[in-house]
Structure formats: C-alpha cells, structure tokens
A and B are shown apart, each in its own frame.
Chain A
Amino acid sequence: MSAYKDYQINRRHLLLGAAAFGSLGAIAPSLLASGAAQAAGVTGTVMTGSHWGVFNAAVKDGVWSAVSAWDKDPHPSAQLEGVMDSVYSPSRIKYPMVRKAYLEKGPDAPRDDRGGGEFVRVSWDQALKLVVNELKRVSTTYGPQGVYAGSYGWKSSGKLHNCQSLLRRMLNVGLEGKFVNSTADYSTGASQHMMPHVVGTLEVYEQQTAWPVVVESTDVLVFWGADPVKTNQIGWTVADHDAYPYMEEFKKTGKKVICIDPLNTETAKFFNAEWVPIRPHTDVALMLGMAHTLYAEKLHDEEFLDEYTVGFDKFLPYLTGETDKTPKTAEWAAEICEVPAAQIKELARLFKSKRTMLASGWSIQRQHHGEQSHWMLITLASMLGQIGLPGGGFGLSYHYANGGAPSANSPVLSGITDGGKAVKGAAWLTKAGAATIPVARVVDMIENPGKEFQFNGKTDKYPAVKMAYWTGGNPFAHHQDRNRLVKAWQKLETVVVQDSQWTATARFADIVLPATTSYERNDIENVGDYSIKAMVAMKKVIDPVFESRSDYDIFAEISKRLGKEKEFTEGKSEMDWIKSFYAAAEKQGKAKKIDVPAFDDFWKAGVAVFPIPEKSKKFVRHSEFREDPLLEPLGTPSGKIEIYSKNIEKMKYDDCGPHPMWYEPIERLGGPGAKYPLHIDSAHPQSRLHSQLCGTKLRAGYAVAGREPCLINSKDAAARGISDGDVVRVFNDRGQVLAGAVVTDDVRPSVIRLFEGGWYDPVEGGKAGALDAYGDANCLTPDIGTSKLAQGNCGHTGLADVEKFTGTLPELKVFTAPKGA
C-alpha cells in the first residue's frame, strides 16, 4: 500500500475518531496536566514511635522506603518492617465508603449483607452527612443510650490522635454525652476486678519488683502462663523493650527458670527452662495441689499468713477437704492438671525453699472462672511467705509492656481528654456516658436490651443500643464466638467504622471512614509504660495517602457539623495540642527538678531520655506493706491480703465464692462432658499486635498454605493423618476455620495453638456459620463472662477438633503472587 493511501485512510479515521472523541471528552478527562509536579517530596530520616518502639523512617521523595530501629532500643522488634508495610498495604482504606444497600435505603436497609463487602465510594461530605444525621436521629429517636461508643481496641500510640478518646470527646461536646461507654478491657477483665478485693489494688498494671532485683535475688523464676520474650515486643504507649537486657542477665546467672504452660514457648526456649506442660485451664487445681502440699508438710509460712493476710482459716477447710470431702492433695490436682503428683510436691517444696518469683501471665484469667487464677496464685504466694521480699512473691505484669523495667525520674505527658467535663448533671457520678457496660459483654448487650446483669456486686441493665461507632479496634478479631457476633451485629441499625485498614470489622460496617496511620500525622508519646524513660516526637513521616484524614480532623469536622467545633478543638491546631501536652510535662519538670528541654529543641532532637535513679532499680513490690502493714495498709477492708473476702461473700454469687476455689469450666480437656478432644490455645501472636499487621509482609514469615498456622502435636497429627503444611479445618459447634498445620512437639498433646488476631475471612461474608478461610481463632471460642464478678472475656476457654481439609480450597489472594502470562 502506498504511504499516501495509508495516510488518507488514517486521516479519515482520525477525523472520525477525533470528532467522536471531541464531544466525548468528558468520558475520559485528562489525568495529566502540563508542568512537572512541585519539588519532589522530602528526603531524609524521620524518627517516630509506635506500639513496637521508637524507630527511624527513611523517606525518599516523600515515600517511606526503609525502617530501622532506634539505636538506643535495647531489643528492637522484628515487626518494624510490618509497621512500614501497613502504611502502603493494599488493605488501606483509601476513601470514605458506604455499604451499597445502606446507601440506597439508609438504616432501613436489609442488614443480612453486612459483612459481604458490597461498598460504594462516596465523598467525605456525603459520608459525614450520613454519620451526623445518624447520630442525631438515633439519639433523638432512642434517647441517650442509642449510640454505643465503647469502641475497644489497641488503636495507635499518641497523646493527641487517641481515636477512642476523640470519639467520646466528639460525643460529649457534640451530642451531650449521649452514648454508651464500656469499662475494663479484654486483657485483664477478670483479674482487674478480682485483685482489688484481694490486694486492694489493680495489681495487673502496676510496676513489678524491678528486674535488677530479680536478677540478683530470685533463685527460681517461674513463668506461669506467661511468654515475656514474645509479648514484651509491644507497649500500650511506645515500647521501651527495657526488660530484654535483664532477661539476658538472668539467663546468664544460670539460675532456674520454670515455665508452666501448655506450650514450650519462646520464653521457655530462651531460658532453657524446665517445661511443665500443664493441661490448659487447670492452673487453679495445680496451685491448690501445691498449697495442700505446703500445708500438709507444714511448709506454709504461718507468720506471714497471720500478719499479712486474713481468711486463711476460712479457706483451709476447703483446702483440706473438710467442707466438700475432697482434699485438694497433689494427687487430686494431678488428675486434673496432668502434672504428676510427685512433681507437684517437688515444685511446692522448691518454691518454699528458694527465693521464688511467680511471674504469671493473663491467659490463665482469660478463662471461665478466670477470677480464681490470680486469687489462688496470691494465696499460694502468701503461703510461701515471700511477698514483699526482694525477688520473691508474685508479679502479674512481667510479660506486659516490659513490667519490671526500672522507672525513670521523668515527667508524664498529658493528653487529649474525652470532653466529659462538658457533660452536665449528676450522671457523671455514676456513668461515664449515658450508661456503661463491661466491655466484653457487648454482644450480650446487643442481643438482650433491658436484660439485667450482675457485675462486681451490682445489678445493672443492658441499654438498648441501635448504632455503633467503632474506631481503633477490631471486634471481629478480639471478640469471642465470631458467628454469634455476626448474627447479633445485624440488630444494629447503623455501624460506623473509622480505621486505616480494611479489617473484618470495617467490612461489617455501613459507613467506613479512612483514617491516617500515626505516620501520616504528628503526635507525641511517652516511651515505656512502666519505665516512662523518654518522650518521643512522633513526627509525620509522609503525607496522608489517598483521602485519609487524621482521627483528630475527622472528629473535629463531625463536631463542627454538630455545632461544637470550638468546644472540640479549643481553637488549637494539631501542633498547638502537642505543645500543650509537652508544656504540662515541662511544668512537672520544674516542680520535680527534672531537666526538660524546650519544646523546639525536643522536637528537633526527636526524643528526650530521662535518667533512671538507682532507687528504681531496687524497687520491691509490696515491700512497704510488708515493712509496715499498719502504716501502708492494702486497699482491702482489712488492710491485708484477703484470702477470704467478706465483700465477695456478700455478693452471694454461685460462680464466684468468698475464697479461691476450683470450678469446672463449661468445657476443658478432660472435663465432664467435653465434646471435643483438643484445647484451643489462642495466645497473643508472635508477629502481630493482636490483629494489627496481619495484612503485611510479616505474614509471609509465618503463614502456612497462606493461612494462620495451627500448631499441632505430632501424636495428634499422626492420629488424623495430618502432615506439616497441610490445610486443616479446625471446628467445633461454634464455628469452623481453615488453617495451615505446623506439626511440632512444642505444643503438648491434646492442645492446638491458633494465635488470636488472624483476619477473619469468611467464604460467605456476613453469614453466620460461614467457613473462615484464614484462621481466626475467635470463631471457636465461647462468648461468656468469666463469672458474675468480673464479666471478663474467655478467649482461652474452648475445645475443638482438627481434620485435614479435603474440600475445594476457597480462593486465597496474596498480592505477591503475580499470575498470568
């Protein structure tokens, strides 16, 4: 063909095309404008902090490209790469979204497809209009208890962008406090209510006998259901990791470490500890067996019991079997806990003869009748008589936030408040909102509005909530009995979820608001929950991605639309607030004669570290009480440790008696009527913070067949024809999940481990009973209160079975797998 002819044909088509396209310009508006973008983004290193510690972010042209630990972090967490990844993960919520049916029909829309993932993008204006209208409608129609804002979860570090405080702040100033709040948490639900009755204080979140003292004076270090090597990676504020060097030091001493745990944990391996593979859920029985041994062999410390405790005489008849014809002997205990009687006695004698620290974790109280566990532990410790002595007694927070890391002499930053000051009326005396529920009873509340419930000696009624606003949390990960939750969730008229990630909870929302991560905004935080050894400038690393906005900005805007912008912001910008929190610390610094740098110097340096006085390194918990129990009484009625509690006696609860007792839980290995043969150990994950970071590269390091790993003992695996790497179905009457088998004898027989926090991925989103393709342990656990006393959650109660999965695998998408050709 001649070039000229080609040209003519082409030209004709070009004209046709151009004309067609000309009027269709709007079909494809140009995405490109002439002129290169303004100066490329920032390049440099930014220091900031997170639950995982202080770290440096390398930024290149405005993009976060690498992460490295703070050079002063004694034991950086391997999860930092995951932290960076979470910012750029395809699981980011990019735009405001509304559930399709809800967009069409509002709160009257059918709710059975909630969780099905049918969302439509909307503008911020449209999304916020919906949110504000709903807040107003619900509170007008249903009164002050219509909106649930208990919103529990681990959110992000930072004194300003504390999304849960900000949510309540908005509701307090903008909606006159018309919301239902929550109390307590999923970490220590049972013990935080029991400990005040026993030792008159919170105990679980209090500074432990300092590690240097443990290193020096403890002869036998017992980790009872605790795995500090794993769990000390994270902190509620910014993790300091200060416990790790001390754990190294203790290891070097060669002194005895014992791990009482159904698993051979990271901690057990680190210390080369003696592993006591107790049958799960039977710790109280084991403790009773030890206690009985001490008493029978006259090893119990009568003087200590007499001077520092009350009620041992009332507990004794139960221990000896006088009351129920069942002496709690080592033999009796062995039957229940599977630790041989001889070993039980040996341990009791060992603990008595040597300076022993009983460091207990919270798994043993996150169970049916969990209140008994630490009560009995303290009773045992009282019989050993070493409470208040250097390196002796018990500690309930060595595994959490680096408890025992010596406290610095440092100022405490103030932070954004929940605006409750604004709420008028006497209600503030008795409620922290229009009503409050124990946090783990949220589904019970939704299912049973108006129902009476017992809680720590009081009777209360569940409010009738119609709307939930959730931020900084993922109940479709942390709440037990997933299918029950899915079903109950449908009773809510409107659900708003504000997050940076497409968590399962976001998928179960009607309105989804994209929040920035900590790394796309400025904030400030203390470092070290117990040491409080530094303050870190949480400097913005990159600009917000997509259309995400900071939690502060979102709630300020909603407050504005409720007519209360000034009350919410107090006229302050983000940096104004941060400076004001710092100013409070400077003020303390002056009063305590601590050198606190000027704000600009601090912000430039990025971190201010404070000295740790020698005195802190010598801190012994309860030593003051031991030295002078009259001058330093405990906060109990008697001023002493209450092995028998009159307060609890008066409650007359059938599931929580006046002294520690062994109660059969609803289901346990070897228990009466146990329907399934394996105990589910749903401990905190190694490479996540609960469910945070599940959508990142870290998963590649642990996922098996693309799913949550399920550790199974070789005997149990062999009996079921399961090999390492197989996809397995874990199931019981409450639910079913797929997981990837890891055959190992690090888990004792008849126990499987499925870390909590795996992202719920139902094959049929929104359908109760659907198979979860990823491995969310809480599909299998029961949603019951620990007892009427604490109404805590029971994540560590539950039996199941496992089988090799032979069906068609539900499609699993992992973005690192390029396909096609």
Chain B
Amino acid sequence: MAPHSSNLTSRPLIGMLIALILLLPASLQAADQDILFAATPFTFHTGPDKSSTKAGRLFTAARIKVRERRPGWLRISLNAWHQQGAARVLYALPGKRILVAILKKSQTQHLKTLQQMTDADTDLVWKQVSYEAWIEDGGFAPSREDLWKPAWELFSTRCTVCHQRRIPHHYKVNQWRSYLKIMGPRTGLPKDKQELILTFLQYHASDMTPESASPPQPVPQPREAGR
C-alpha cells in the first residue's frame, strides 16, 4: 500500500479505493482486516506461545498480513526488502531504510525471495522477500494514517525544546534514520516512541513521493544463474 500523506488530495487512486472499501459493510471488509500496521514494536516468535524461540523484532508502522488467528496470537506474513548480503535487516522499500524488521541470523534461511532489483543510483542490489512468524495479538492500526496523529503529537512537542521545529520533507528517508539515532535519546522518550516519530518522519520525507514510494511490482524475470 502506498504511504499516505495527511493531505487527502495527494493520495493515489488506490488509496481512494481503499477508503471506499472501508466504508462498505463489515462482511465485505473481512479481507482487509487482515492488513494491519504495527502501532508498537513486536517480538517475533516461532510458535504461538511465549516459550517458543524469539525470532526477531517487528518495527512500528510495519505492514503485516494476518494468516491465522489463535487466542492471543497471530501468524503474520510481511513483504520487505533487504540489501544483498544483509538479509537480517528488512526495510519497507529498496534503498529507503525504513525498518520493518530485524531477524535473528537463524531466521534468514526462512526468507522467501520474491524478486530483486539493482538501484541505478548506488548499484546496490536489493531483494524483496516475504517472511512469516507469530506475534502476540494487540497493538495494531488499520492504517498508517492512524499512527501519524500520535506521532505528530510527540514530534511537535518533544522536538522543539532545543531547536526550531524541523520540517519532515526537508530531509531524506535515510537521513532521518541517522538523525533520530542522535536526537531520539535527546527527547528522553522510550525507544518505541522514538521509533514512532522516526517512521512518521521517514514516511513524510522528501524522497517519499507516492510514486517513488511505491515498491516496484514483482516482474517475472529469468533467474540469473548462481543468484
């Protein structure tokens, strides 16, 4: 799903369709209730109970799809991108380091590669993968939009104490990540709130126009030997 700006007129057509869908009766919405966005960070587990192995971490605003529901647990899948050679760190988009998940090393073998592409600007190779795991139920939002309100509250209050308010679209997605590494702790907020602010800023960064933010659709490509 393309990232939203708060301005209705800048949503792509698909966004409008989804908005319409949300207005439809509940029964017709069933399919979309499976697409959720993490409102806080989550820990991945290998099975639907706390004692099972911890597999990694899911980050705020990550988009997940629910595959199965058990009491208090969800089996979810997600699509994300990683830089070739760094399969543990999953981002929302190729070249744009919006953290979706960080996996334990042992988990990378469970990643399913969907496609890969080479970023013309950097020559880096990015792979789109899908991953499944179990997480505890609770703490989701039906859209990213719902997260931006609390994020804005935090950003507009905690980030003007020491300097003038920064403008999200004056900086790039990747720059925000580095800034928040330094600035996050200076807010004194707990880590998950820092991450919420970060994701908010990243989704409103200068290189997150709807077009550039849409991940390329999987295109069937002849697999290169050895890859």
Indicate if A touches B (C-beta under 8 A). yes
A interface list, Cβ under 8 A from B: 150, 159, 162, 164-165, 168, 181-183, 196, 199-202, 205-207, 236, 310, 411-418, 420-421, 426, 428-433, 436, 456-458, 584-585, 588, 591, 630-631, 633-639, 646-647
Given contacts A236-B162, A417-B161, A429-B5, 19 further A-B contacts (CB under 8 A): A165-B161, A201-B179, A201-B181, A202-B182, A412-B185, A412-B187, A414-B188, A418-B164, A428-B156, A456-B170, A585-B188, A630-B85, A630-B89, A633-B83, A635-B176, A635-B177, A635-B178, A637-B121, A637-B122
Flag whether B26 is at the interface (Cβ < 8 A): no
Contact for A646 among B121, B153, B187, CB less than 8 A: B121
Also in contact, A429 and B161, with CB within 8 A (given A637-B95, A638-B124)? no
B167 an interface residue at 8 Å Cβ cutoff? yes
B188 contacts A417, CB within 8 Å? Answer: no
Q: Which of B164, B182, B204 contacts A429 (CB 8 A)?
A: B204
Within the complex, what minimum Cβ distance (angstroms) separates A532 from chain B? 8
Complex Cα–Cα for A162 and B204 (A): 28
Q: Which of B160-205 contact A (CB under 8 A)?
A: 160-162, 164-172, 174-179, 181-182, 185-188, 190, 204
Query: Does the CB pair A200–B178 fall under 8 Å?
Result: yes
Q: A206-B182, A428-B152, A430-B169 are in contact. Are A183 and B161 (CB under 8 A)?
A: no
Residues of B within 8 A of A183 (CB): 164, 166-167, 170
| Contacts known (A411-B188, A432-B167, A585-B188); A202 close to B178, Cβ less than 8 A | yes
Closest residue of chain B to A162, judged by CB?
B161
* B127 at the A interface (CB under 8 A): no
Of B95, B168, B178, B190, most A-chain CB atoms within 10 Å: B178
Q: Which residues of B contact A429 (CB under 8 A)?
A: 5-7, 167-169, 204
C-alpha spacing A310/B122, complex, angstroms: 8
Question: Complex formed: what's the CA distance from A430 to B157 in Å?
Answer: 17
Report yes or no: B188 in contact with A412, Cβ–Cβ below 8 A. Answer: yes
B102 nearest CB neighbor, chain A only? A631
Q: Does B111 contact A (CB under 8 A)?
A: no
Question: Hey, what's the 0/1 contact readout for B47-89 against A, CB within 8 Å counting as 1?
Answer: 0000000000000000000000000000000000001011011
Least Cβ distance of A265 to chain B in Å?
28
Q: How far is the CB of A653 from chain B (nearest CB, A)?
A: 16
Would A630 and B160 count as touching, CB distance under 8 A? no
Return the chain B residue nearest A591 by Cβ. B190
Contacts of A637 in B (CB 8 A): 95, 119, 121-122, 174
Give the distance to chain B from A374, nearest Cβ to Cβ, in Å. 16
Known: A414-B188, A420-B156, A585-B188. A201 touches B164 (CB 8 A): no
A426 touches B178 (CB 8 A): no
List chain A residues, Cβ under 8 A from B88: 631
Nearest 6 A/B pairs, CB to CB: A635-B178, A201-B178, A412-B188, A630-B86, A415-B161, A432-B165
Complex CA distance for A633 and B166, rounded to whole angstroms: 23
Contacts of A168 in B (CB 8 A): 160, 164-165
Asked if A182 and B156 sit within 8 Å, CB to CB, the answer is: no
Cα separation A584 to B161 with both chains bound (whole Å) = 13
Given A426-B7, A633-B97, A201:B122 Cβ within 8 A: no
- Shortest B141–chain A CB gap in Å is 19
How many Å from the CB of A607 to the closest CB on chain B? 18
Can you spell out 29 A-B residue pairs with CB atoms less than 8 angstroms apart?
A162-B161, A183-B167, A196-B179, A199-B178, A200-B174, A200-B177, A201-B178, A202-B179, A411-B188, A412-B186, A417-B157, A417-B158, A426-B5, A426-B6, A428-B156, A429-B169, A429-B204, A430-B169, A431-B167, A432-B164, A432-B165, A584-B188, A588-B188, A591-B190, A630-B83, A631-B88, A635-B177, A637-B119, A639-B83
Contacts of B169 in A (CB 8 A): 429-430
Do B174 and A636 have beta carbons less than 8 Å apart?
yes
**Do A421 and B122 form a contact, CB below 8 Å, given A183-B164, A432-B166, A635-B97?**
no
**Interface residues of B, count at CB 8 A:** 46
Contact A420 B165 (CB under 8 A): yes
**For chain B residues 9-65, which have a beta carbon within 8 Å of chain A?**
none
Chain A residues positioned under 8 Å from B97 (CB to CB): 633, 635, 639
CA distance A606 to B159 in the complex (A): 27
**Considering the chains assembled together, what is the distance between the CA atoms of A379 and B158 in angstroms?**
35
How far, in whole Å, are A412 and B175 apart by their CA atoms in the complex? 23
Tell me the nearest residue of chain B to A635, going by C-beta.
B178
Q: Are A420 and B122 in contact (CB under 8 A)?
A: no
What's the least CB distance linking A695 to chain B, in Å? 27
Q: Which residues of chain B come closer than 8 Å to A639, judged between CB atoms?
A: 83, 97, 124, 174
Q: Complex Cα distance A236/B97, Å?
A: 32
Is the beta-carbon distance between B160 and A635 smaller than 8 angstroms?
no
Residue among B152, B160, B161 with the most chain A CB within 10 A?
B160
A207 to B186, CA, bound (A): 12
User: Who on chain B is nearest to A151 by CB?
Assistant: B164
A205 to B83, CA, bound (A): 29
- The residues of A that contact B124 with a CB separation of less than 8 Å are 638-639
CB-based contact B122/A646 at 8 Å? yes
Most buried by B among A206, A417, A637: A637
| Contact A201 B83, beta carbon cutoff 8 Å | no
Instruction: Report the separation of the CA atoms of residues A413 and B168 in the bound assembly, to the nearest whole angstrom.
Output: 24
CB-CB under 8 A from A631, the residues of chain B are: 86, 88-89
Alpha-carbon separation in the docked complex, A157 to B17 (Å)? 52
**Most chain A beta carbons < 10 A, residue from B164, B168, B169:** B164
| Docked CA distance A164–B124 (Å) | 44
In angstroms, Cα B89 to Cα A630, docked, is: 8
Chain B residues within an 8 Å CB radius of A196:
171-172, 175, 178-179
A527 to B26, CA, bound (A): 56
B188 adjacent to A635 (CB under 8 Å): no
| Contact B161 A635, beta carbon cutoff 8 Å | no
Complex Cα gap A162–B162 (Å): 9
* A412-B185, A413-B188, A421-B153 known; A200 vs B175 contact (CB < 8 Å): yes
A416: which B residues are within 8 A, CB to CB? 161
Chain B residues with CB under 8 A of A426: 5-7
Q: Tell me whether A159 and B85 are in contact (CB under 8 A).
A: no
A181, B168: Cα distance in complex, Å: 15
Report chain B residues within 8 Å CB of A418. 156, 160, 164-165
Chain A residues positioned under 8 Å from B170 (CB to CB): 183, 456, 458
Give bound CA distance, A637 to B171, whole Å.
12
Task: Determine how close the nearest CB of chain A comes to the CB of B195; give it in whole angstroms.
Answer: 15
The reply to whether B179 and A635 contact each other, CB–CB distance below 8 Å, is yes
A205 neighbours in B (Cβ, 8 Å): 182
A641 CB to nearest chain B CB (Å): 12
Q: How far is the CB of B48 from chain A (nearest CB, A)?
A: 29
Encode contact with A along B107-137: 1 for CB under 8 Å, 0 otherwise.
Answer: 0000000000001011010000000000000
Q: CA A116 – CA B71 in complex, angstroms? A: 78
B30 to chain A: closest CB distance in Å?
32
A585 CB to closest chain B CB (Å) equals: 7
Min CB–CB distance A450 → chain B (angstroms)? 20
Contact present for A635 and B152 (CB under 8 Å): no
In chain B, residues 133-160, which have Cβ atoms closer than 8 Å to a Cβ of chain A? 152-153, 156-158, 160
The residues of A that contact B119 with a CB separation of less than 8 Å are 637
Q: How far is the CA of A11 from the CA of B170 in the complex (A)?
A: 84
Report the separation of the CA atoms of residues A430 and B169 in the bound assembly, to the nearest whole angstrom. Answer: 6
Which residues of A sit under 8 angstroms from B6, Cβ to Cβ? 426, 429
Report chain B residues within 8 Å CB of A633: 83, 97
* Chain A residues in 8 Å Cβ range of B158: 414, 417
Q: A182 to B164, Cβ gap below 8 A?
A: yes
The answer for the CA separation of A743 and B198 in the assembled complex, in Å, is 54
Closest to A650 in B: B121
Bound Cα distance from A417 to B154, whole angstroms? 11
Residues of A contacting B7 in the complex (Cβ-Cβ under 8 angstroms): 426, 429
A433 to B177, CA, bound (A): 24
| CB nearest neighbor in A for B10 | A426
Query: Contacts of B177 on A, CB cut-off 8 Å?
Result: 200, 635
**Complex CA–CA separation, A182 to B95 (angstroms):** 30
Q: Are A420 and B160 touching (Cβ within 8 A)?
A: yes
Distance in angstroms between the alpha carbons of A585 and B161 in the assembled complex: 14
List, in ascending order, chain B residues with CB within 8 A of A430's CB. Answer: 167-169
